[in-house]
Structure 1
Amino acid sequence: MDKRSESQKRQKTKAAVCVAIIGLLILVYGVRTYQKNELLLSKSTVKSAQSSDSENQASKIYVQVTGAVNQPGVYQLKNDSRGIDAVNAAKGLTEEADGEAVNLATKLKDGQKLNIPTKTQTQQNQSSGTTAAGTININTASKEELMTLPGIGEVLAQNIIDYRTKNGAFSDPSEIKNVNRIGDKLYEQIKDRIAV
């Protein structure tokens, strides 16, 4: 009977050891899996936070507002902002501002300069397409005056007139690059000869 009970004791001990080993293995595996999942989760959280930050940065633009506004300066705006948003950021137009001279519905680009002229400046520019410095005002110049610029023939002069008729006055000379068939190369040739 002693041998039998001793044998049963050994079997129970072996079974307990096996159960303990299996339990330990399950515990170790569970801890490792948990740690792996935590690491993956933390990496994905960091990535999503980084992509969210970069999306926020990409959805912002900076625009300089000058001229007849109450608070000229550089403003951070949403990526899809229009001229009116920039004017509102600059606390609105002054009493002397000629709000009709600039197309405030124009979509803005990062780094753009939006200049709001006064009514007096608009009248002076309209009286002559050529400014005192001998440059051509691309907002008021006639087709013939535009054709005096290097590389600007009859077709491009008409394209400039059509563009400003459709979109309103240019707020910065570099905006002439938005005109069909006027790129960086041609702009470099004429940039010192044009004004707004």
Structure 2
Amino acid sequence: MAAASDPDPEAVIPARRRLGAGAAVVVVIGALAITVGIGIFRGASTPVEHVRVDRQATDAAAPAAVYVHVSGAVAEPGLYVLGEGARVMDAVAAAGGFADDADRAAVNLARPVSDGEQLAVPAEGEVPPTADPATGAAGGAAGGVVDLNTADLATLDTLPRIGPALAQRIIEWREANGRFTSVEDLLAVPGIGDKMLESLRELVTV
């Protein structure tokens, strides 16, 4: 007959199983806590990538501008800022269009404008100005030197070997391409070669 104080074997085994299961749960929870903690630490320590805007590159991408002083027979004379490649028609439009008394036939609307130019629109019956639209200088410079950017057909015709037809080509090139930037630009005018350029070099300026 078994003693009354001996533990029941059937009761001991389930109790041990319960202890083992509880320990396993504790271990799993601890592992999860460690994993979450490592993830939080890594997230906090990961460097943040900053994107820097290149201000110079942004400014360089901005479109170029030209300043044109529109005066004379227009609705609103003044200084206007136009985009690069603008033409006389754009400058006149910016100034509110022609005035009622404007001599529209005296203005070449298709001519490109240049930065710093003064565009003077004449009224009907008014003699168009012969001054340089950019500098205000007269068509013929001091000492009899002819300014290629302002000289009219009659003035260009006074140059040696330059007749009315070639003078007209010079004016047409100027109207189509803008100001001459150097005397060498004359080589782009049909009919002017190296020899003629050398004969004109001391007689013209830009």
Task: Report the TM-score, using the length of structure 1 for normalisation.
Answer: 0.56
Distance 1:176 1:32, change over 3 A: same
With the length of structure 2 as denominator, give the TM-score of the two structures: 0.54
Q: 1:17 aligns with which of 27, 30, 41?
A: 30
**Corresponding position: 1:190 with 2:205:** yes
AA matched with 2:39? I
Q: Does 1:120 align with 2:132?
A: no
Offset of 1:86 from its aligned partner?
A: 0.6
- Structure of higher CA gyration radius: 2
User: For the residues of structure 2 that align with 1:25 and 1:156, how far apart are their CA atoms?
Assistant: 90
In 1, distance between residues paired with 2:121 and 2:182? 19
RMSD of aligned Cα (Å): 4.5
Query: Which residue in 1 is equivalent to 2:74?
Result: 69
Q: Trace 1:88-107 onto structure 2 (pairs within 5 A).
A: 88-107=93-112
Report how many aligned residue pairs link the two structures: 165
Residue identity (%) = 24
Structure 1 gap ranges (5+)? 148-152, 192-196
Q: Letter of the aligned partner of 1:65 in structure 2?
A: V
Q: Distance in 1 between matches of 2:171 and 2:44?
A: 68
Task: Provide, for residues 124-165 of structure 1, a one-character-per-residue CA deviation record: whole Å limited to 9, x for no partner.
Answer: 97xxx988x9886612424442x2xxxxx5369965530324
2:154 match: secondary structure: coil
Query: Which one has a larger percent helix, Structure 1 or Structure 2?
Result: 1
Query: Which runs of no fewer than 5 residues in structure 2 stay unpaired?
Result: 1-12, 131-137, 188-200
Q: Alignment partner for residue 161 of structure 1, among 158, 163, 168?
A: 168
Q: Distance in 2 between matches of 1:178 and 1:87?
A: 28
Using the TM superposition, give the Cα deviation of residue 14 of structure 1 relative to its aligned residue in structure 2, in angstroms: 3.0
